[in-house]
Structure 1
Amino acid sequence: MRIWRFTRNQLGTNTYVVSDDNGYGMVIDPSFSDMTEVLQLIAKESLHILYIVNTHCHFDHVLGNEELRSALQVPLLIHEQELPLLLSAHEKALEWLDLVVKTSKPDGYLVGGDVITIGSLHFTVLETPGHSPGGVCFYCEEEHTLFSGDTLFAGTVGRVDLEFANGPQLIRSLHEQLWPLPDETLVYPGHEDDTTIGEERAVNPYFHFA
């Protein structure tokens, strides 16, 4: 697996480009409004992007959805419970970052247990609501890798004081979906640095509740 991370918006949101060794890939959470740098990487590495996916649809994770979808002509996939957040993201982007962006309906919906295949890699969709109603993580078992969005960070978890958030639901998501994963699982979060499930099991007070 090859992973490139971009952190370009004012809120420090991570965008990931992921591919197998043959160049088949996907983009996770296009988080800034000008995706030129991502598109240049895709061209330079001769990547064949198959999907754009959102772990959830808070505005800072979807700012580049439309530019990237238009440029690559590939489907955008989200959890259906995130649709209201996606369709209002342009308003939040203008309010918080003074950015004018376009948001529109996705091409398809993700549900727990779905498997996204990009070449030789397989990502299972884990439903992890709590930070937002339809938050998901993407878990690649063969590579022991998890893209956790804002469900799990190094040492903490996503905020639950936002509209539509639910703290007890987030703890249930940790317990039911992430706690069972192997300690060696690498975690690539929506903000800040990488971690592992084992590290979070040892030190994360929220994860410990699981």
Structure 2
Amino acid sequence: MAARIERLVTSGTFSLDGGTWDVDNNVWIVGDDTEAIVIDAAHDAEAIVRALGGRTLRAIVCTHAHNDHIDAAPELADRTGAPILLHADDLPLWKQTHPERSPDGELADGQALSVAGTELTVLHTPGHAPGAVCLYAPGLDTLFSGDTLFAGGPGATGRSFSHFPTIIDSIRDRLLSLPAATVVRTGHGDPTTIGAEAPHLDEWIARGH
């Protein structure tokens, strides 16, 4: 059976630089009836376990280490035995949330992750966070963009560890060159496509969004 994509929306809070905000997060599950990976274990390990439905969890992939994307990762790892994977440049952010628990492995640019006959390639896309990554699955015509690219523009860069020119470079150089029909499945909110976002790059730069 071919791999499929499922979206689970979980709710909690995002905290950084002394502020806290209520957020809804997309948890993406990629797999088939026997195995899966989870992209961004946000807020509710029990809900993620229920969504997995007994499938073998091969990995918990973190697109970046803001707390709302990783807060449920250790519990999910404990309950499933799956390794937590994170880009090393986001370890300082990770340690703010989980000082006593390190990830189990590192994500690197160009690394390939395989599940249910589908390959996902890690793209290092810093800017929203130093170790932010996207996952490109050409066989599914999909990019899992974390908080790097949303419908309507780049992820936020107004807080610690983020940098607007860097996220623009990441989006221009690593994402907008993908096929226009590629579906962008984001860390929050509704999906978009590369083709829908690419024409607006100069607008984003002009407004410094």
TM-score in terms of structure 2 length: 0.87
How much does 1:78 deviate? 0.3
**Cα shift readout 1:80-137 (whole Å, capped 9, x = no counterpart):** 00111011025xxxxxxxxxxx862101101100000113010000010000001000
**Partner of 2:38 in structure 1?**
27
Provide the rounded CA distance (Å) in 1 between the counterparts of 2:52 and 2:188: 22
Q: Which runs of 5+ in 1 are unaligned?
A: 91-101
From 15, 26, 29, the equivalent of 1:17 is 29
Which runs of 4 or more aligned residues in structure 1 lie more than 3 Å from their structure 2 counterparts after TM superposition? 202-205
Matches within 5 A, 1:180-199: 180-199=177-196
Provide the rounded CA distance (Å) in 2 between the counterparts of 1:103 and 1:180: 39
Computed over aligned residues only, the root mean square deviation of the Cα atoms, in angstroms, reads 1.9
Provide the rounded CA distance (Å) in 2 between the counterparts of 1:103 and 1:54: 17
**Partner of 1:153 in structure 2?**
150
Provide the rounded CA distance (Å) in 2 between the counterparts of 1:187 and 1:207: 20
Provide the rounded CA distance (Å) in 2 between the counterparts of 1:203 and 1:47: 40
**Partner of 1:37 in structure 2?**
47
The one-letter code matched in structure 1 to 2:23 is L
The one-letter code matched in structure 2 to 1:130 is G
The one-letter code matched in structure 2 to 1:126 is L
Percent identity reads 37
The one-letter code matched in structure 1 to 2:80 is L
**Partner of 1:82 in structure 2?**
90
Mark the CA change 1:103 to 1:167 in structure 2 (over 3 Å): closer, same or farther: farther
- Kept after mapping to 2: 8 A contact 1:59/1:89: yes
What count of residue pairs does the alignment treat as equivalent?
Answer: 194
TM-score in terms of structure 1 length: 0.87
Provide the rounded CA distance (Å) in 2 between the counterparts of 1:117 and 1:62: 21
From 116, 121, 126, the equivalent of 1:119 is 116
How much does 1:4 deviate? 1.8
Mark the CA change 1:54 to 1:208 in structure 2 (over 3 Å): closer, same or farther: farther
Provide the rounded CA distance (Å) in 1 between the counterparts of 2:189 and 2:205: 17
Higher strand share: 2
- Kept after mapping to 2: 8 A contact 1:86/1:103: no
Mark the CA change 1:183 to 1:103 in structure 2 (over 3 Å): closer, same or farther: farther
Mark the CA change 1:207 to 1:174 in structure 2 (over 3 Å): closer, same or farther: farther
How much does 1:24 deviate? 2.3
**Cα shift readout 1:22-80 (whole Å, capped 9, x = no counterpart):** 53210011111x3212111212xx42210001000001101110110000001100000
